[in-house]
Amino acid sequence: MRREVRNRVVWLLAVALAAFAAAPAAAQERGITPSEIVLGTSAPLSGPAAAWGATARGIAAYLEYINEQGGIHGRTLRFIILDDAYQPPRAVQNVRQLVEREGVFALVGMIGSANAAATADYIFRNEVVWMTPAVEQEQWIGNPNIEYLFVTYPNYYHEARILTRYAVETLGKRRIAVLYQNDQYGDSGRRGVLDELAALGLTPAAMVSYELTDADLTVHVLRLGQAQADAVILYATPAHGAMAARALAQLNPRPQILSSFTLADPVMAVLAGEAWNGVIVPAYFPYPGTDEKVDQVLQIILERNPDLASMAFNALAGVSFVEPLLEGLRRAGPDVTKESFRDAMETIQDWDGELLRGISFGPGRRQGLNRIFLSQMMDGVPHRLTDWIEYPVEY
Amino acid sequence: MFFWQLVVSGLSIGSLYALVGLGVVLLYRTSRVLNFAHGDLSMVSAMTAYTLITGAGVTFAGAAALTLLAAFAVGALFYFLVLRPVKDATLLGQIVTTAGFALVLGGLAVIVWGADTKAMPFPLSRFVWYDVAGLRIDQLTLGSFVVACAAMFLLYLLVQRTKFGLAMRAVSQNDAAAKVLGIPVRRVLAVTWGASAALGAVGGLLLAPVTFVSPAMMFEPFLKGFAAAVLGGLDSLPGVVIGGLALGVLENLFAGYVSTAFKSTVAFVAILAVLLVRPEGLLGRKVVRRV
């Protein structure tokens, strides 16, 4: 009896081993099969940054359209979205699942500088193509592992410097304060403000941080009032930005708010009401209603997901993340591998997509975008203030 | 001036923590069950009110009344449908059941209302303010404080001045004895659960303009309300009021003068300090076990 059992076990083991060995050789490239290309993202579909999750849904709607047009070189694009609720541990889990279980060719976007910091090593080690993680970019500068990373997203640090310079030189403000999220995202902004003020011979009136779990920012804003700030640079999530704006509206005199472009979406006017009037915010592609190509893309995604209408700008931002990837795939041709994709991306010079304008990559250049423009929000409508303002290309 | 501004806003947010904590303490006193679903019940109430106002065009007053009634009903139903069947479980088991209910409510909220942050139309405005003795107090801060105090006063009247409140106190002291004396314990408990949920709904409605409406809106307030209850004494209703107000003011003073990064930390550190000296909380009853 015992010998029978042992023989059976050995036989089962042998079959199992054979099955593994004979497993279909992975597609030439992870995430690329003759019929489809697999893409994925980890995004905040819930939690305090849920409004930014519209980026992922915008990508999904746009890829639906691309697939309807026949895909790229005959392959359809499959896009997997996993919710990380803006939390690094969940982002780590999601990325592992996307790479190991779903086998994605590329990750598109990711929201949360803390999330990117937690997952970058793993992503680079596995040579996963990463298209525009929407995060602070200090971590890419001087980083030798960014061969398959391509970014067309503004730099928070330089944006903060530009906002500070605008507040001081154009608006004549002298008591600049910064209200920032206590993580890598907010800290980038804080450093930018600090460095620019130092270059202008000034010091900040106040630097006040908040925690993601804070449900009330009244006392933070009271501190800004106490410091008599006449301009407040804001690095926050949509919910916290709205809370801050409403509290700031009560200060007398009311400071000028300049916010990171992450709060460029007019949904802020819905959340913060009249407190959002006058807020100055940058953008890195034209607003809907100001450009034909942008309006066309908006129509395309709204036809496929009408719920995105309340967060149109965020949804379009998502499309701006995936646009360069699609161009790279087109240029790489039907026999695409991650190396040929990388080479194709490096040929992109001064390229205009549907949304993005003036994008350049190259051997050793992974920062595709180096300019923003400022607008002022009034009743949810942006009014352009400046032409394109450039900042350095650093990686 | 800065000091008093901090105190005023601390009292206002503290009164909301107290309101949340009261719901927890009310239940704990009566049934010894810690209701971990309290925060999520408040959130669902706020979501319901939001839908009534923006989706069905109901006035705020109407929506608030309907929401309170609905919350009362949900609380009482939860008692009858979920807790009564498990009444023979250990206390820990019953508490875990409430935690499960919390998860269910949280998940339902995301499915039904979505995870986005929403702005609740509210009759009190942050942009209307009164200048009192050199301090700027906005309508919302003042109004929240007044309504929270009114709710607490009504609860006091219910518990201390009505026959039903007497029955509630009897059940909380010794439910077996109360049953023997003919007090309808089941009814008392159901009403207590309903009242606690209704209190939570008031808290949720008052917090909605501050924290905005989203599935996670009550996470921090519930934690702080619970902490206020622990600070004040889990079986003392006045205790949680004092605990909540103290917590709000302490937090604000610390964040205003020292550091905003440790605003919540200092609140919990203070609670630890109090519990080390007085484990039963500020106004709690010392538990003496005769051996």
pLDDT over 60 (residue A234): yes
Q: Which residue has the tokens 């646009």?
A: A323
Return the SS3 of A60.
Answer: helix
Residue A329, domain extent:
36-154+288-364
Percent of chain A with pLDDT over 90: 83
Question: Is there a single domain that holds both residue A294 and residue A309?
Answer: yes
Give domain status of residue A27, yes or no.
no
3-state secondary structure of A142: coil
Nearest to B252 among A47, A219, A274 (CB): A219
At residue A275, the pLDDT reads 94
Beta partners for residue A106, in sequence order = A39, A129
On whether both A116 and A166 belong to a single domain, the answer is no
For residues A381 and A383, give the distance between their C-alpha atoms in angstroms, rounded to a whole number: 7
The CATH number of the structural domain formed by B2-277 is: 1.10.3470
Dist. CA B205–CA B113, nearest whole Å: 16
Asked if residue A193 and residue A53 are part of one domain, the reply reads: no
At A96-149, the pLDDT tens digits run 999 999 999 999 999 999 999 999 999 999 999 999 999 999 999 999 999 999
* Interface test mutation site (partner A, options B3, B126, B217, B249, max chain A beta carbons within 10 A): B126
Lowest mean pLDDT among A36-40, A329-333, B30-34, B181-185: B30-34
Q: Which amino acid is at B262?
A: F
The answer on A242 and A132 residing in a single domain is no
- Please tell me which of the candidates B9, B207, B261 has its beta carbon nearest to residue A218: B9
Pairing between strand A381-384 and A371-378? antiparallel
Residues of chain B positioned with their CB less than 8 A from the CB of A269 = none
Assess if residue A19 is contained within a domain.
Answer: no
Domains of chain B, by residue range, sit at 2-277
ipTM of the complex: 0.86
Q: Which chain A positions have a beta carbon within 8 Å of B5's beta carbon?
A: 222
Asked whether residue A25 carries a pLDDT value surpassing 60, the answer given is: no
Rg (CA), chain B: 19
Sign of CA dihedral A160, A164, A166, A171: positive
Query: Which range among A2-6, A64-68, A376-380, B225-229 shows the weakest confidence by mean pLDDT?
Result: A2-6
Q: How confident is the model at residue A340 (pLDDT cuts 50, 70, 90)?
A: very high
Mean pLDDT for the stretch of residues A277-305: 95
Do both A273 and A196 map to the same domain?
yes
A202-211 confidence digits (pLDDT tens): 999 999 999 9
pLDDT along chain B (291 residues), means of 10: 91 93 90 90 95 90 94 92 84 89 91 88 86 85 90 89 90 86 90 93 93 90 91 88 93 93 87 86 73 65
Give, for A382, the enclosing helix (H) or strand (E): strand A381-384
Interface test with A, best of B20, B140, B212 (most A CBs within 10 A): B212
- Is the pLDDT at A20 greater than 80, yes or no? no
Do A319 and A236 sit in the same domain of this protein?
no
Portion 197-216 of B in contact with A at CB < 8 A: 207, 210-212, 214-216
Of A47, A220, A252, the CB nearest to B216: A47
**The predicted structure's pLDDT at residue B270:** 85
Q: Do A297 and A206 share a structural domain?
A: no
| pLDDT for residue B288 | 66
Tokens of A277: 């009037």
Name the token pair of A388.
């394109």
Number of domain units in chain A: 2
CATH number at residue A186: 3.40.50.2300
Contact (Cβ atoms closer than 8 angstroms) between residue B10 and residue B248: yes
Long-range contacts, B180-188 (Cβ 8 Å, 24+): B186/B84, B188/B30, B188/B164
Cβ atoms of A288 and A355 closer than 8 Å: no
pLDDT tens-digit series, residues A166-203 = 999 999 999 999 999 999 999 999 999 999 999 999 99
Shared domain check, A244 and A170:
yes
